[in-house]
């Protein structure tokens, strides 16, 4: 017996060539949507009926964005409208339609700038293809749940508009990593923000603390007694609480915040853990990684003992 597929969230993305459909679909994909472009309409049922891979449940179902334009095989705007009604009424799917519009003069400028031919006017002026496509897609534009006029939009502005309209729960949240590392063992290449913790007192030069790490309470207490500690770390936390949402709004998929000290075992580890707890309490979902915490302590890497001669390298 064939089970009835669970209702899906579906967004049909259409519009005029050059108006930004590719940008919109790419942004949705980055936000966690499953994206299919230029799918022949005869294959739509097969796509919707395809079960999830083994081991996945309906809870794993991602929203689906389908790109359709006048180049799609079997394109018929009126037939698409009828299909949308059927998906809603007969199958219970949550279906929306987004139509990307743009002025003819701006579309002509874009085609001239990119030196692309309009797909419906390969041997004629772009204006002819724009006019023909506007006529073909007009029923779909009238039916669309949302219309975005991209005439005055840059690519980045369109991306932001798509994120604002179609963010779903936490699917679009960037992957946030809080990293600790040792400068003496090389700086990380993928850090978006980097903070140097070498201004704090160094537990390495306390014989009882040297073999321990920033995860140990007595190491944490030693670092926290530095007069500069509380004020500076609190300022870093407040700065991140301000910056991270702006990075998310800008569409960053991965954000790495790195904290470094000399060896990467004490100060950077402790501060990374503290900041991660602060961000978690503030509603973020950070992952903590300690790159050099398990490395053996070495006096030569620490360079100088406080009040003593420079360490031998």
Closest C-alpha to 18, from 141, 165, 126:
126
16 is in an annotated binding site: yes
The alpha carbon of residue 284 and the mean position of all alpha carbons in its chain are separated, in whole angstroms, by 14
Widest pairwise Cα distance in the chain: 83
Alpha-carbon distance values, 277 to 225, 270, 274, 288 (Å):
19, 11, 5, 10
Handedness of CA 19, 25, 30, 31 (dihedral sign): positive
For the chain, the distance separating the N- and C-terminal CA atoms, rounded to the nearest angstrom, is: 74
pLDDT at position 211 is: 92
pLDDT at position 207 is: 92
Lowest mean pLDDT among 55-59, 72-76, 160-164, 260-264: 55-59
Closest C-alpha to 116, from 37, 17, 16:
17
Q: Where are the domains of the chain?
A: 9-51+59-166, 175-295
CB 176 within 8 A of CB 279: yes
Supply 59's token pair: 């809870």
Decide which of 90 and 70 is more confident: 70
Average pLDDT score over residue span 108-125:
84
Statement: residue 1 has pLDDT above 50? no
295 is in an annotated binding site: no
The pTM score is 0.56
Lowest mean pLDDT among 24-38, 55-69, 100-114, 228-242: 55-69
pLDDT band at 172 (very low <50, low <70, confident <90, very high): low
Length of the chain: 313
pLDDT band at 6 (very low <50, low <70, confident <90, very high): low
CB 97 within 8 A of CB 145: yes
137 is in an annotated binding site: no
DSSP 8-state secondary structure symbol assigned to residue 33: -
258 is in an annotated binding site: no
Statement: residue 309 has pLDDT above 60? no
283 is in an annotated binding site: no
CB 267 within 8 A of CB 275: no
pLDDT at position 302 is: 66
253 is in an annotated binding site: no
Average pLDDT score over residue span 94-117:
88
Statement: residue 99 has pLDDT above 90? yes
72 is in an annotated binding site: yes
Closest C-alpha to 98, from 146, 142, 139, 133:
146
For the domain made up of 9-51+59-166, give the CATH fold.
Rossmann fold (3.40.50)
Lowest mean pLDDT among 48-52, 107-111, 160-164, 231-235: 48-52
What is the DSSP pairing of strand 64-67 with strand 175-182?
unpaired
* DSSP-assigned beta bridge partners for residue 256: 177
67 is in an annotated binding site: no
H or E segment and range at residue 180: strand 175-182
71 is in an annotated binding site: yes
pLDDT digit string (tens) for 211-267?
A: 999 999 999 999 999 999 999 999 999 999 999 988 877 767 778 999 999 999 999
Average pLDDT score over residue span 60-85:
78
18 is in an annotated binding site: yes
């Amino acid at each position: 017996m064939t089970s009835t597929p669970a209702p899906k969230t579906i967004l049909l993305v259409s519009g005029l060539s050059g108006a930004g459909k590719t940008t919109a679909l790419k942004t949705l994909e980055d936000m966690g949507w499953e994206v299919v472009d230029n799918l022949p309409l005869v294959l739509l049922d097969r796509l919707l009926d395809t079960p999830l891979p083994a081991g996945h449940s309906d809870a794993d179902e991602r929203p689906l964005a389908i790109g359709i334009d006048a180049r799609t095989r079997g394109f018929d705007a009126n037939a698409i409208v009828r299909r949308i009604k059927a998906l809603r009424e007969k199958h219970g799917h949550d279906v929306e339609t987004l139509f990307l519009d743009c002025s003819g003069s701006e579309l002509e400028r874009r085609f001239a700038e990119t030196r692309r031919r309009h797909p419906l006017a390969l041997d004629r002026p772009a204006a002819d293809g724009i006019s023909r496509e506007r006529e073909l897609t007009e029923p779909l534009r009238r039916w669309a749940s949302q219309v975005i006029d991209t005439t005055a939009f840059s690519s980045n502005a369109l991306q932001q508009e798509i994120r604002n309209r179609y963010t779903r729960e936490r699917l679009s949240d960037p992957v946030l990593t809080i990293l600790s590392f040792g400068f003496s063992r090389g700086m990380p290449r993928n850090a978006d923000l980097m903070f140097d913790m070498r201004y704090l007192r160094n537990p390495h030069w306390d014989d009882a603390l040297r073999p321990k790490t920033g995860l140990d309470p007595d190491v944490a207490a030693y670092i926290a007694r530095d007069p500069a500690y509380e004020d500076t770390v609190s300022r870093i936390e407040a700065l991140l609480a301000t910056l991270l949402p702006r990075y998310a709004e800008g569409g960053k998929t991965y954000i790495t915040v790195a904290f470094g000290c000399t060896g990467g075992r004490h100060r950077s580890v402790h501060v990374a853990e503290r900041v991660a707890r602060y961000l978690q309490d503030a509603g973020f979902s950070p992952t903590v990684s300690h790159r050099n915490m398990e490395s053996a302590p070495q006096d030569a890497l620490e360079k100088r003992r406080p009040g003593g001669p420079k360490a031998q390298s």
